[in-house]
Structure formats: C-alpha cells, structure tokens
Amino acid sequence: MPFRLFHDYFPAVAERETRSITVTPQSDSGLPVGSYGFLEMFCDEPGCDCRRVFFLVMASFRREEQAVVAWGWESVAFYAKWYKYGDREDAKLLQGPVLNMGSPQTELSDAILDLARDVLLKDVAYVERVKEHYRMFRERVEGRGSHRFLKKRRRLR
Ligand SMILES: [Zn+2]
C-alpha cells in the first residue's frame, strides 16, 4: 500500500481544500497553541480500492511531521471483507482512526489523534470532501481522465 500526497496530483485543489485546525490557549486538547495541518495521503496502487486516508499532520511551530493518522470511512464489515486475512479487530484498526503503525510519531501524536477524532472527522462536510478527493485521486491513478471530473467540479461552483 504505497501512499502519496493528494497535493502531488492536485496541488491547486489541495492548497484550497486542505484542512487545518487552530488550537488556542482556551482549547482543552492538551496540544501546544498553533495551527495543525492535516495533509491527505491516499493509496496509489493501481486496481486497489482500500477507501482510507492517511493524514500527515504538520504543526505550525515545527518542521517535522507530528503524527500520521489513518482512517477509513466505510464500515468495519467493508474492511473485514477487503482485508481477507485479518479478523474483526484488524478490520477495526483499518477503519480507525488510529495512529499509523510504522510511521514516525511524537509526544503530540495521541492528542493529535483525539483532535482528528473529535473535531476533524465530526465535520460531515469535510468528510465528504475527503471522499471526493479520494475519488479524484483514484481516477488519476487508474488513468481515467480526471480532467472530466475537474470540469464537473468547476460547474458545481
Ligand atoms: Zn489501496
């Protein structure tokens, strides 16, 4: 499962539509004050339809990534079926949101995961946007004209 930044294929859309969350001194998130950017990554393996996003989380006050959060918007049953070799617990992990095993994490990662679960993914409009980005990204990977899709998006505005 190779993952790649949405920004690599759609830089202009990514710049407009990448979500960031500002943590203020009044916030009880346990995170340092600052802005947290959730850069979307998707799988770019041809023929795959894993329906998950990886958020590479950047903080405004540091250079390095602070967490990688994995999340899938489908049901646990979907991931159980898709990932044939695992059990229900594995499928739950695929659904997430979870800190991605194998990605570098920091002392902020756990609080960032909470922020993703409690704020980012509670935003229904944002979740729909992520799914749309996934569709665009997969069309590009599969080589089906994404320009057609972009034209449609433009009309919708
Ligand atoms: Zn995949």
- The tens digit of pLDDT for each residue in 127-154 reads 999 999 999 999 999 986 545 555 555 5
> Cα(149)–Cα(151) distance, rounded to whole angstroms?
5
In the DSSP assignment, the letter for residue 123 is -
Do 69 and 112 meet the contact criterion of CB atoms below 8 Å apart? Answer: yes
Q: Model pTM?
A: 0.88
Tokens in use for 32? 């340092």
Which residues of the chain are modeled with pLDDT < 70?
1, 144-157
Do 68 and 95 meet the contact criterion of CB atoms below 8 Å apart? Answer: no
Do 96 and 46 meet the contact criterion of CB atoms below 8 Å apart? Answer: no
The predicted pLDDT at position 86 comes to 74
> Cα(69)–Cα(53) distance, rounded to whole angstroms?
8
Do 95 and 71 meet the contact criterion of CB atoms below 8 Å apart? Answer: yes
| Helix, strand, or coil (residue 141) | helix
Q: How far is the CA of 33 from the centre of ligand 1 (A)?
A: 34
Residue 153 burial (CB count, 10 A): 13
Range of the domain at 27: 3-156
Q: How far is the CA of 88 from the centre of ligand 1 (A)?
A: 19
Q: How far is the CA of 77 from the centre of ligand 1 (A)?
A: 17
What's the structural domain count of the chain? 1
> Cα(106)–Cα(15) distance, rounded to whole angstroms?
25
> Cα(5)–Cα(22) distance, rounded to whole angstroms?
22
Do 59 and 74 meet the contact criterion of CB atoms below 8 Å apart? Answer: no
Q: How far is the CA of 82 from the centre of ligand 1 (A)?
A: 10
